[in-house]
Amino acid sequence: MPDLKEFTRVISDHHSSLRYFIQGLGVNASWVDDVAQDAFLVAYRRWEEFDEVENPGAWLRSIARNLVLNETAKRHRRQRLLDENLTTLLLDAENGAPAAGELSDFTHRQDALRQCLGRLTQKARGVIEARYFNDRNSSEIGEEFSMKPVAVRKMLFHARQTLADCLRTRVTDAG
Amino acid sequence: MQAEIPDELIDLLERLSEGDLDESGRGRLAGMLSETPELRTVVKEHFLMSRALSQLERTESDFAEKTATHVAKIAAESEFGFAKKVTGKIVRQRVAKILAAVAVIILAAVPAFLLLQPEKPIVAILVRMDSEQGVVSARAVKAGEKLEETSGLMRLDFNNGAVIAVEAPAKLKVVSAMEIALDTGKLNGWCPDTAHGFKVTTASADLTDLGTSFGVTATQNGKAQFMVLDGEVEVQKGKDKMRLTQGDAVKASTRDKLSNTPFDPSDFKNTWPLAQGIYATKGAVVPANPDVPEKVALMESDDHVLVIPERRAVPFTLPLRVDIVDTGTLPGTIPEAVHVIKPKPGKHLSSFLIRYDPVGTFPDDYFKKFEGEVTFDRPIMAIATEKATLEGTDAVFAMGKWESKYRGIELDQIKNPPDSVTLSPNRRTVKVTFYAGASTDEIRVILEDRKQDL
């Protein structure tokens, strides 16, 4: 079993990217931390493998990937996943490593994300804030902004895409 | 290059994220991602960006310390705790704890085992329908998966575009993206260019699609029947081969040679509409009976409004004049106007007529109200409701020549309220109210094909 300090350091180094990885597989946002904890529990029990592991992040992702794979077979626990078919397809496409140009961990880019948010139109920023800061759904946001829910959903999607492109540009510029 | 992102995918994804997507929508979303793998990257990135945004204004507490302490505590309870407490416990408790410990070990070991196994590819989406043909569930199917159902209807939407509708009781195996082994049951298939060569094997003979719509039945005693509703297939038993074109049927058994048999597609009354893209009908609206396209195009009924499949996968290369492009009701929320839709190179369309045409003729003052609806497997792009727009789109979609003094619907009738057409908010369902009898009523529903329908 690992020393608690060492184990805490490993979690500290990898929990953020691991939780992004898990959410990227279509795990319900409210269950992401739970699945991440399960992954660290499996890692704790298989700690004897850790010294042999060249890439701890990839090792943890493979553990998490298989925990999520197990979830797709548990119908009674499907609330952990947004949709088991979707997760199966995302798992199918997942090769364990982020592709070139793929955004995988935003933890250290929060300032950049705030700046990118500032570049959105006022309405798009308001819709994003209502959704992500105030937990409002598209119908509620639509009432506030005099928009049809379907238009709100479209605006949310395109705003996120604009933000992702903005972040990618900043990463490229910084690199 | 980033994949083109359909508006439908955007809406489905957002509704899923809000917890507001039904089984049909989930199946549709999975189908879109299955047919266009590049979209999975798009979806993943949006999940990540959603997380980034939801975390932006939240202070991250000491997740690492809390998790480390929690994990260490659980690990200690499960293993060391067991060793301390086991002495003195009754055997029943001991067995239970051993089982629990074994379960923990298996839980930890199975993922590693699975990691080493080559996973079989997902080749199709299985959509199950209830007795009224509403979608009750949808899930991915991998190559090699066996399916056995005692009742109901199901549809397999293959990634390569093949569509197979099955009526239970049925037992079959999805061998690969290009083959089904039908043990017992009946099925209807439709294969686009991308799935030509698709095979249905049975105990007595095998069918190979050559661009077509076909039906296959197989019984427990090894007998099978194959028939072609449109296009061409090859049926083979050993060295014995037969080419069938539309209107042909052959029977096979494990002992006898292939032989011709009368063409009777009535067995496929339930599966044929499903393979054509009709998910459900209600009220006076019902699917036309299965037959070759030229006969289906001329079907009549005194008692029902028929949903008649027309051409499928037509390249969208010419502008279309239509009457309905938005959701709502005509007359009512949809203004009376003709819209011109510009062609979209690379896109393909399919159409269905929704028509009341009685077998006989009625007196000039005979009118009856027909009300009902039909739900399709893909979104409706537009509807033609007037004689001019119907005739204008005949050249593109019609399967047979249709001449009638009365075409379309009547929005201004002397003796009756107006006919009406409603396109649902999700663009999948059309509801019609026709006052017909002395006259025929018809509309043409035009759907935009998904990539997998081609």
Q: What is the 3-state secondary structure (H, E, C) of B287-311?
A: ECCCCCHHHHCCCCCCCCEEEEECC
pLDDT-derived band at A102 (thresholds 50, 70, 90) equals low
Beta bridge mates, B348: B315
What are the tokens at A159?
A: 């705003």
Judged against a pLDDT cut of 50, whether residue B81 lies above it is answered with: no
Of B114, B143, B163, the one marking the end of a domain is: B114
Asked whether residue B30 falls in the same domain as residue B173, the answer is: no
Per-residue pLDDT, B118: 56
CB contact under 8 A, B49 and A7: no
* In-domain check, residue B51: yes
Q: Are B281 and B403 contained in the same domain? A: yes
Higher local confidence (pLDDT), B82 or B67:
B67
Instruction: Name the band, by pLDDT with cuts 50, 70 and 90, for residue B97.
Output: very low
User: ipTM of this predicted complex?
Assistant: 0.88
CATH of the domain at B189: 2.60.120.1440
CB contact under 8 A, A66 and B27: no
Distance CA A174, CA A170 (A): 6
Q: State how far the Cα of B432 lies from the Cα of B373, in Å rounded to an integer.
A: 6
Average pLDDT along chain A: 84
Give yes or no: residues B157 and B286 share one domain.
no
Mark whether B139 and B284 lie in a shared domain.
no
pLDDT in the model for residue A97: 59
Query: Does residue B1 lie in a domain region?
Result: no
Q: Report CB contact under 8 Å: A90, B44.
A: yes
Write out pLDDT tens, residues A113-163.
Answer: 888 999 999 999 999 999 998 888 999 999 999 999 999 999 999 999 999
List of E strands, B102-196: 122-129, 135-142, 145-149, 153-158, 163-176, 179-190
Q: In total, how many domains does chain B have?
A: 3
Among the ranges given (A127-136, B9-18, B140-149, B408-417), the one the predictor scored with the smallest mean pLDDT: B408-417
Q: What is the average pLDDT score of chain B?
A: 83
> Is the pLDDT assigned to residue B102 strictly greater than 50?
no
Domain boundary among B114, B140, B157: B114
Specify if B242 maps to a domain. Answer: yes
B147 in a structural domain: yes
Same domain, B351 and B224: no
| B126 plus B109 within the same structural domain | no
Domain range enclosing B444: 277-453
Residue B230 lies in a domain: yes
Q: Which residues contact B238 (CB under 8 A, 6 or more apart)?
A: none
Query: Is 50 exceeded by the pLDDT of residue B153?
Result: yes
- Domain match, B146 and B192 both: yes
Q: How far apart are the CA of A20 and the nearest CA of chain B, in angstroms?
A: 6
Q: Looking at the domain assignment, is residue B390 inside a domain? A: yes
The reported pLDDT for the residue numbered A163 is: 92
Query: pLDDT class for B115, splitting at 50, 70, 90?
Result: very low
Maximum separation of any 2 CA atoms in chain B, in Å = 95
Same domain, B174 and B257: yes
What is the model's pLDDT at position B165? 96
**How far, rounded to the nearest angstrom, does the alpha carbon of residue A44 sit from its chain's CA centroid?**
22
Report the DSSP pairing between strands B153-158 and B122-129.
antiparallel
Domain match, B27 and B138 both: no
Of B5, B11, B68, the CB nearest to A11: B68
Q: How confident is the model at residue B189 (pLDDT cuts 50, 70, 90)?
A: very high
Are the beta carbons of B287 and B273 closer than 8 angstroms?
A: yes
Asked if residues B133 and B119 have their Cβ atoms less than 8 Å apart, the reply is no
pLDDT at position B76: 67
User: pLDDT tens-digit profile of A73-99?
Assistant: 765 555 688 888 888 888 887 765 555
CA distance A146 to A120: 19
Q: Is A36 on the interface with B (CB under 8 A)?
A: yes
Mean pLDDT of A165-170: 84
Instruction: Report the distance separating Cα B45 and Cα B42, nearest Å.
Output: 5
Q: Which residue has the higher pLDDT, A126 or B121?
A: A126
Question: Whole-angstrom Cα distance, residue A156 to residue B55?
Answer: 16
Shared-domain flag, residues B34 and B182: no
Q: What is the pLDDT of residues B196-243, one digit of tens each?
A: 899 999 999 999 999 889 999 999 998 999 999 999 999 999 888 999
Enumerate the residues of chain A whose CB falls inside 8 A of the CB of residue B423. none
pLDDT per residue as tens digits for the range B24-44: 888 888 888 888 888 888 898
User: Does B64 sit within 8 Å of A15, measured CB to CB?
Assistant: yes
E strand map for chain A: none
Most distant pair of Cα atoms in chain A: their distance: 58
- Within a domain: B130: yes
Q: Per the domain annotation, does B2 fall within a domain? A: no
Quote the pLDDT of residue B215: 96
How far is residue B83's CA from residue B17's CA, in Å, rounded to a whole number?
44
Cα–chain center distance at B350 = 14
The CA distance from B315 to B317, in Å, is 6
> Are B440 and B311 contained in the same domain?
yes
In terms of DSSP bridges, do strands B305-309 and B285-287 run parallel, antiparallel, or are they unpaired? parallel
Q: Give the amino acid at B215.
A: G
B68 lies in the same domain as B133: no
The Cα–Cα gap between A171 and B57 comes to: 21
> B47 and A23 in contact by Cβ < 8 A?
yes
- Tell me the CB-side half-sphere exposure of residue A54, using CA atoms within 13 A: 0
Residue that terminates a domain, selected from B114, B136, B165: B114
According to DSSP, residue B118 is labeled P
Task: Name the residue type at position A43.
Answer: A
Confidence tier at B166 by pLDDT (50, 70, 90):
very high
